[in-house]
Amino acid sequence: MLTRLHNIVQDVVASGKFAEQLQIIVVEVNKALGTEVCSVYLMNPMRSGYIMAANQGLNQDVVGQISLGLDEGLVGLVGRRAEPINLEDATKHPRYYYMPGLGEEAFNAFLGVPIIHHREVLGVLVVQQRAKRRFDESEEAFLVTLSVQLASVVSHAQATGGISALSGSDYPAQDVMFKGVPGSPGISQGVAVVIQPVASLDGVVDREVDDVTAELQILDKAVESVRADISRISEQFSGSLPREELALFDAYLHMLDDEAIPGDIRDRIRRGQWAQGALKQVIREHVRRFEQMEDSYLRERGADVKDLGLRVLSYLQDIRTKKIHFPENTILVAEDVTPGMLASIPAERLKGVVSIKGSGNSHVAILAQALGVPAVMGALDVPIFEIENQSLIIDGYYGEVFVNPSPGLSNQYNDLIDEEKEFTQELDLLKNLRCVTRDGWRVRLWVNIGLSGDISRSLDRGAEGIGLFRTEIPFMSKDRFPTEEEQRVIYRHHMEAFEPRTVTMRTLDVGGDKPLAYFPITEENPFLGWRGIRVTLDHPEIFLVQVRAMIKANVGLECLLRIMLPMISSVTEVDEAQRLIDQAYDEVLEEGLQVKRPSVGVMIEVPSAVYQSRLLARKVDFLAVGSNDLTQYMLAVDRNNPRVAELYSESHPAVLKAMREVARSAHAEGKFIGCCGEVAGTPAGAILLMAMGYQVLSMNATNLPRVKWVLRNVKRRDARRMLARVLKMETTAEIKAYMQGELIAAGLGRVVPSHHK
Ligand code: PEP
Ligand code: MG
């Protein structure tokens, strides 16, 4: 049975057209269960009832014609109850509904199971038989299992308009939205230009050759041509991208160094494989290695290697990138957008990016942000083969894509784009103003930083300090632990750029989803395992080197250096860390350097730290809430798991109460309190945290100007009133709706895009 089920699902997935997919289902289910009728009923686009979408065994003419109300017949009952109904003689059931023309009079046995996706009933799968009999448990289980697997196919058809097409033109056209994840903020409208990879590595066959020298020469020529292309592209970008982002292209060139990828390819050619086959094998190996990495940032690097491989292959096959016309408002769409593709489009014509694969961590997302171009990543349902030259709207704030929008929607978004432009110009004027509420309450807006490219972006947007330096990021880009001097140089670079502002360096926070390739940690449950301070306290040699590098980086500068400890779950960890920091500081002084002792603070990221926050505050100079992890641990929701993403909410009442508790503890001990999780960079979050008395909000540089604008336009008195209301609310939804309403009522609706109001 399992093989049969597997085969049906595979056949369905392999067939592209929705009507064909449904036909495969009804035919194969009849075969598998020995039934005479199998039908699929689907919820119509207006959600007002079901249409007969496919059948085998009944009158074929009724497909797309027959429809049932939500409460009509046994199909309606299966949908309402959201569970299977199994009847020996359906005609005797009070809900049996005779539909003339269908031809089901002769059938008695009935088994209907709902098709449900993310809690929503999308349709009903039915089998029928002449004989009066009850379907046995294994038959029922088979149909239920099949329907669970088909739900995503139906959901895709619903999103892509496949269901409207089945039902003819009876339903008014609706704007269809495809959901992805935000890659780079902003909204744009434009024309889809779909770029396919120029050649396919999968199509390359293995082939033995005798003339090894000739193959080596072909390879050298191809690699040289790709190097030249990349240098040209990098030059083309040199005016529009900061130096740090241009380093990406250097990374590409490094991969093409003799001892890197080409070296491996040459080895294989020397063993008798032709150049194309050797290239395919080496690229696959490298890509696989990247894809197995647990860290999502490193995983994405596999796409870069693939892109390089394809470029070399296209020269080996003597295929050049076809000359594509890029209209003025190009929205680049590709299965897996690569930095190279981005670079092939004149910067002034590129208005947006849609990538079917990838995440907010992808290089492309980072580049798009640097270029100020909206991007939607991981838009799995976008029908890439059907949208060439079609008009698109993309919303990089919410990760949404609309294909062929109606004039109404298009106008609505055009207005939004105009508003945005105006708003950004206005926000630029705030750069040098302090963040003070209308009734004079001062809030410090700092930035979260990691890549060195963040420095210029942050200072450009008026950052007043660094609230979180994620030091693990420079550790990740190495193949061994960086030395004390290497670390000192990186840290000093940031401190010099920010002098005399405050710089908060977090000690190494690896483990969880942030492994180091050269320090593997394999655990069943990494988020509850060896993470953050737990690792560094077990390895004082790593901790001491890092702390010394931080302290030394500050020699002779006016920066206020703060050292922050991640993942603290007990006071003993703080005592031990303080002892080591004292030791590191004394060692630096013994070396004859003159420097102030840094302040030390604790991140509040786990529930135990919330309950001991008063005690913790007594032991350190400041507390900073890491709301990203605090939310994950309080709600028991993995922050990286898309399946439970809807349960992850920093505005959950329990999380907000915890954050208020921590602020109270810090105030009671007279210590500084900040928040450096994503919630601090949202308009509603910033208002509530300010009302709770958070003195520092640290966020990514992109969000900073908006948050400043919002806070400068509210009164703390009003924010406290909102907080009091919110703390009495029971659900996230209630809180979100209320805060949205308050923002709009206060005239701050510009930070709530109008289609989400
Ligand atoms: C947090 O957990 O909120 C935080 C700021 O740290 P990170 O996102 O790096 O885990
Ligand atoms: Mg954290």
Which tens digits make up the pLDDT trace of 229-238?
A: 888 878 877 7
709-738 exposure pattern, b = at least 16 Cβ within 10 A, e = fewer: bbbeebebebbbebbeebeebeebeebeeb
Pair (186, 114) in one structural domain: no
Question: Hey, whose CA ends up nearest to atom 9 of ligand 1?
Answer: 470
Tell which one of 535, 629, 648, 682 to mutate to probe ligand 1, the residue whose CB is within 8 A of the most ligand atoms: 629
Minimal-distance CA residue to ligand 1 atom 6 = 626
**Global pTM?**
0.71
424: in domain? no
Query: 345 and 269: one domain?
Result: no
Q: In this predicted model, what pLDDT tens digit does every residue of 510-521 receive, in sequence order?
A: 988 777 878 888
The CA 430 to ligand 2 mean position distance, Å, reads: 30
pLDDT bin (cut points 50, 70, 90) of residue 502 is very high
> Which CATH number does the domain housing residue 341 bear?
3.50.30.10
Q: Whose CA is nearest to atom 10 of ligand 1?
A: 629
Atom of ligand 1 nearest to the CA of 632: 2
pLDDT band at 509 (very low <50, low <70, confident <90, very high): very high
> What pLDDT was estimated at residue 513?
72
Question: Is 627 part of any domain?
Answer: yes
Q: What is the pLDDT of residue 436?
A: 98
Judged by its nearest atom, the ligand closest to the C-alpha of residue 626 is 1
Say whether pLDDT at 305 is over 50.
yes
Point out the ligand 1 atom lying closest to the alpha carbon of residue 625.
3
User: Are 159 and 276 in the same domain?
Assistant: no
Q: Is the pLDDT of residue 294 over 80?
A: no
Contact 375, 352 (CB under 8 A): yes
pLDDT at 26 over 90: yes
Same domain? For 210 and 289 the reply is yes
pLDDT at 713 exceeding the cut of 90: yes
Can you give the CATH number for the domain in which 517 is found? 3.20.20.60
The CATH number of the domain where 67 resides is what?
3.30.450.40
Structure tokens at 94: 């009070």
Task: Tally the domains of the chain.
Answer: 4
Specify whether the CB–CB gap between 698 and 624 falls below 8 A.
Answer: yes
Pocket test for ligand 1, best of 295, 297, 448, 468 (most atoms within 8 A of CB): 468
**Which chain residues have CB less than 5 Å from ligand 2, an ion?**
626, 629
How far away, in angstroms, is 630 Cα from ligand 2 center?
8
DSSP one-letter string for 683-705: HHHHHHHHHHT--EEEE-TTTHH
Domain of 677 in residue numbering reads as 434-756
pLDDT of 174 reads 65
Instruction: Looking at the CA of 640, name the nearest ligand.
Output: 1
Q: Whose CA is nearest to atom 3 of ligand 1?
A: 626
- Last residue of some domain: 316, 335, 363? 316
Calculated CA dihedral for residues 650, 654, 655, 660, nearest 10 degrees: 130
For helices 732-745 and 716-726, give the axis angle rounded to 10 degrees: 160
pLDDT of residue 320: 44
At residue 750, the pLDDT reads 85
Residue 170 has pLDDT above 60, yes or no: no
Mutate which of 533, 627, 676, 694 for ligand 1? The one with the most ligand atoms within 8 Å of its CB, which is: 676
User: Which atom, in ligand 1's list, is nearest to the CA of 624?
Assistant: 5
Q: Say if residue 354 is in the same domain as residue 308.
A: no
Which tops the pLDDT comparison, 165 or 192?
192
Q: Is 307 contained in some domain?
A: yes
* Per-residue confidence band for 126, with pLDDT thresholds at 50, 70 and 90: very high
What was the pLDDT predicted at 757? 44
> 275-291 and 212-237 are packed helices; what angle lies between their axes, rounded to 10 degrees?
50
* Residue with CA at minimum distance from ligand 1 atom 1: 626
Domain-terminating residue out of 386, 404, 422? 404
Residues above pLDDT 70, as percent of the chain: 93
pLDDT, residue 753, reads: 62
Ligand 1 atom with least separation from CA of 468 = 5
Would you say residue 422 lies in a domain?
A: no
Identify whether 209 is part of a domain: yes
Asked if 626 and 677 count as a contact pair (C-beta separation under 8 A), the reply is yes
Residue 356 CB less than 6 A away from ligand 1: no
Whether residue 718 sits in one domain with residue 740: yes
Distance 567 CA to ligand 2 centre (A): 7
Span between the terminal Cα atoms of the chain, in Å: 49
Active site annotation includes 676? yes
Predicted confidence at residue 169, as pLDDT, reads: 46
Q: Is the pLDDT of residue 341 over 70?
A: yes
DSSP per residue over 638-656, as a string?
Answer: -TT-GGGGGG--TT-HHHH
Q: What is the mean pLDDT of the chain?
A: 88
Q: What pLDDT does 562 receive?
A: 98
Q: Answer yes or no: do 30 and 116 share one domain.
A: yes
Q: Which residues does residue 121 pair with via DSSP β-bridges, in sequence order?
A: 116
CA-atom Rg of the chain in angstroms: 30
Whether residue 417 is contained in a domain is answered as no
Q: How confident is the model at residue 604 (pLDDT cuts 50, 70, 90)?
A: very high
Q: What is the CATH number of the domain that holds 240?
A: 1.10.274.10
183 with 308, same domain? no
pLDDT tens across 539-579, in order?
999 999 999 999 999 999 999 999 999 999 999 999 999 99
Asked whether residue 439 falls in the same domain as residue 470, the answer is: yes
Of residues 54 and 362, the one with the higher pLDDT is 54
716 assigned to some structural domain:
yes
Q: Is the CB of 504 under 6 A from ligand 1?
A: no
Q: Which of 269, 291, 316 is the last residue of a domain?
A: 316
Instruction: For residues 153 and 301, state if they share a domain.
Output: no
CA 609 to centroid of ligand 1, rounded, Å:
15
Q: Which of 286, 363, 494, 652 is catalytic?
A: 363
Asked whether residue 524 falls in the same domain as residue 395, the answer is no
> Considering only 24-38, 569-583, 634-648, 712-726, which range has the smallest mean pLDDT?
634-648
Closest ligand 1 atom to residue 677 Cα is 3
The span from the CA of 208 to the CA of 467, in Å, is 58
Min mean pLDDT across 151-165, 269-283, 544-558 is at 151-165
Residue 416: inside a domain, yes or no?
no
Confidence check: pLDDT of 451 > 80: no
Q: Which residue has better confidence, 372 or 465?
A: 465
Confidence of residue 49 (pLDDT cuts 50, 70, 90): very high
Task: Say if residue 218 is in the same domain as residue 256.
Answer: yes
Is 472 touching ligand 1 by the criterion CB < 6 Å?
no
Q: What is the pLDDT of residues 636-683, one digit of tens each?
A: 988 766 567 678 889 999 999 999 999 999 999 999 999 998 899 889
How confident is the model over 350-383, as pLDDT tens digits? 999 999 887 665 667 767 876 778 999 888 878 8
- Give the span between the Cα atoms of 373 and 187, in whole angstroms: 9
Mean pLDDT of 258-264: 86
Model pLDDT for residues 67-98, shown as the tens digit of each residue: 899 999 999 999 999 999 999 999 999 999 88
Judged by its nearest atom, the ligand closest to the C-alpha of residue 450 is: 1
Strand 622-625 vs strand 599-604: parallel, antiparallel, or unpaired?
Answer: parallel
C-alpha of residue 223 to centroid of ligand 2, in Å: 42
Kindly identify the ligand whose nearest atom is closest to the C-alpha of 472: 1
User: Which of 317-321, 412-416, 428-432, 503-507 comes out lowest in average pLDDT?
Assistant: 317-321
